[in-house]
């Protein structure tokens, strides 16, 4: 039986692939940096998809290494090893240059690094990795929203070297960056963006009704994997400001973090503590947040964390009390909303809406980036 016939026999309700997998055989070596909440879920997703991708699409994924902050594991091609990299024998102290060289191997155009850390030093390597031909995929926002000169160097390197994709940096698995890219590439012009860009704050605003303290909800959001490694990045609005900067730069506007007017929810006395000390003093946020809730109840409105950006460079991030009839009032759980107003969508904006945080959806966003890059790889003879 040929491969199409056997596929139909195994899965009678599925259509066969458009092109036989055997005619599209490609190999991609993958190294994952940052096996934390998102990174370890992504490793699982990749491992579970390996066989199906090879069979249905001809893509052979080789999971060659995992690097954490202190240790890295090489030779991770064995699925069992990936599942329990903590117990692997082939670890050594992390050295990102050595890691990149190992993943690149002999075939730099068929190798990719996926950065699932939240680390600026890792982001500082992207330009050099891309220039060497490695592809880079990441949910880490620090490169795309960090210093403009570094961002420009990364873009320049990706124009001539490996490909760079970062869809999961804005609203996790939602197609936000690609939607904007498609609008711009087809000749549309961005006028403004408005919406709710924080899954954590969306979830907190929906859950917080006074029955439980705000601090206990923040702890739960952290345990669910919605928050940044340091939840102050969410509560201060800086994480949302980063997303605005990423979208602005995608549109060609040279915005930087200091251009965004952000109203933080973190009391000043908690802002400079260590992350551990902050988590111990989370209860200090309960009184000011109870004040916000009382205001919303008095005005018969709802709390919503809203951000906006326009082409004049005005960018704002803050908590609001919105009327109960406002379109942003009817979201659930971690729902994000991104409203693009463009020349084509001037009177009725284009909306992207759905869950905007959590390891599963974020990892899937990075995985989809990997697949888009894999589509462009040269087919093996």
Extract the annotated binding site for NADPH.
141
Least Å from the CB of residue 274 to ligand HSE: 19
Member of 237, 356, 359, 365 binding ligand HSE (CB under 6 A):
356
CA dihedral defined by 41, 18, 165, 47, rounded to 10 degrees?
Answer: 20
Residue 63 in tokens: 């999971």
Q: From its phi and psi, is residue 25 left (phi > 0), alpha (psi between -120 and 50) or beta?
A: beta
DSSP 182-232: HHHHTT--EEEEEEE--HHHHHHHHH-SSSS-HHHHHHHHHHTT-S-SSTH
Member of 239, 250, 335, 369 binding ligand HSE (CB under 6 A):
239
Q: Are 249 and 144 in contact (CB under 8 A)?
A: yes
**Binding site partner of 39, from ligand NAD, ligand HSE, none, Cβ cut-off 5-8 A by kind:** ligand NAD
**Token pair 């009184």 in the structure block, residue:** 287
Could you say which residues in the range 328-357 bind ligand NAD, by CB under 6 A?
A: 357
**Binding site partner of 33, from ligand NAD, ligand HSE, none, Cβ cut-off 5-8 A by kind:** ligand NAD
Least Å from the CB of residue 107 to ligand NAD: 23
Least Å from the CB of residue 225 to ligand HSE: 9
Binding mask 170-209 for ligand NAD (x = CB under 6 A): --x-------------------------------------
Active site residue: 243, 263, 295, 316, which one? 243
Angle among Cα 292, 296, 298 to the nearest 5 degrees reads 115
Least Å from the CB of residue 317 to ligand NAD: 16
CB neighbour list of residue 38: distance below 8 Å, 6 or more residues apart:
116, 139, 168, 225, 359, 362, 363, 366
- Terminal-residue alpha carbon distance, the chain: 23
Burial of 87 (0-12, 13-18, 19+ CB in 10 A): exposed
**Binding site partner of 153, from ligand NAD, ligand HSE, none, Cβ cut-off 5-8 A by kind:** none
Alpha-carbon distances of 344 from 3, 179, 193, 350, rounded to whole Å: 44, 13, 14, 9
Binding mask 190-209 for ligand HSE (x = CB under 6 A): --------xxx---------
243 is catalytic: yes
CB neighbour list of residue 170: distance below 8 Å, 6 or more residues apart:
176, 177, 197, 243, 246, 247, 338
Least Å from the CB of residue 144 to ligand HSE: 12
Q: Identify which of residues 96 and 238 has a Cβ nearer to ligand HSE in the complex.
A: 238
Member of 87, 105, 210, 229 binding ligand NAD (CB under 6 A):
229
Q: Which DSSP letter does residue 380 get? A: P
Please tell me whether residue 141 binds ligand NAD under the rule CB under 6 A. Answer: yes
Q: Give the residues lining the site for ligand HSE (CB under 6 A).
A: 172, 198-200, 226-228, 234, 239, 356-357
By annotation, the residues acting in catalysis are 243
Q: Give the residues lining the site for ligand NAD (CB under 6 A).
A: 33-39, 67-69, 94, 116-119, 121-122, 139-141, 168, 172, 225-226, 228-229, 357-359, 362
């Amino acid at each position: 039986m040929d491969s199409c016939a056997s596929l139909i026999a195994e899965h009678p309700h599925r259509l066969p692939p458009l092109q036989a997998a055997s005619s599209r055989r490609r190999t991609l070596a993958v190294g994952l940096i940052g096996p934390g909440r998102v990174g370890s879920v992504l490793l699982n997703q990749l491992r579970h998809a390996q066989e199906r991708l090879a069979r249905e699409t001809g893509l052979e994924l080789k999971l060659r290494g995992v690097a954490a902050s202190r240790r890295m594991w090489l030779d991770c091609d064995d699925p069992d090893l990936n599942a329990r990299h903590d117990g692997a024998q082939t670890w050594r102290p992390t050295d990102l240059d050595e890691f990149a060289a190992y993943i690149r191997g002999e075939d730099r155009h068929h190798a990719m690094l996926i950065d699932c850390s939240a680390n600026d030093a890792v982001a500082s390597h992207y330009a050099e990795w891309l220039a060497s031909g490695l592809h880079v995929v990441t949910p880490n926002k620090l490169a795309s929203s960090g210093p403009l000169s570094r961002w420009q160097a990364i873009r320049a390197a990706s124009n001539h070297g490996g490909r760079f994709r970062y869809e999961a940096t804005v609203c996790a698995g939602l197609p936000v960056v690609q939607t904007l890219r498609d609008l711009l590439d087809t000749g549309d012009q961005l006028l403004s963006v408005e919406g709710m860009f924080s899954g954590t704050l969306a979830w907190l605003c929906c859950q917080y009704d006074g029955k439980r303290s705000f601090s206990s909800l923040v702890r739960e959001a952290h345990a669910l994997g919605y928050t940044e490694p340091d939840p102050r990045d969410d509560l201060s609005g800086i994480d949302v400001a980063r997303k605005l900067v990423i979208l602005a730069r995608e549109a060609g506007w040279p915005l930087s973090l200091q251009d965004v007017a952000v109203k933080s929810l973190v009391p000043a006395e908690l802002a400079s503590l260590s992350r551990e000390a902050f988590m111990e003093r989370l209860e200090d946020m309960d009184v000011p947040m109870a004040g916000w809730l009382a205001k919303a109840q008095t005005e018969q409105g709802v709390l919503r964390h809203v951000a906006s950006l326009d082409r004049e460079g005005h960018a704002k991030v803050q908590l609001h009390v919105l009327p109960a009839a406002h379109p942003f009032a009817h979201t659930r759980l971690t729902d994000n909303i991104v409203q693009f107003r463009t020349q084509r969508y001037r009177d009725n904006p284009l909306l992207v809406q759905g869950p905007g945080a959590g390891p599963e959806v974020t990892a899937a966003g990075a995985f989809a980036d990997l697949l888009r890059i894999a589509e462009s790889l040269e087919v093996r003879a």
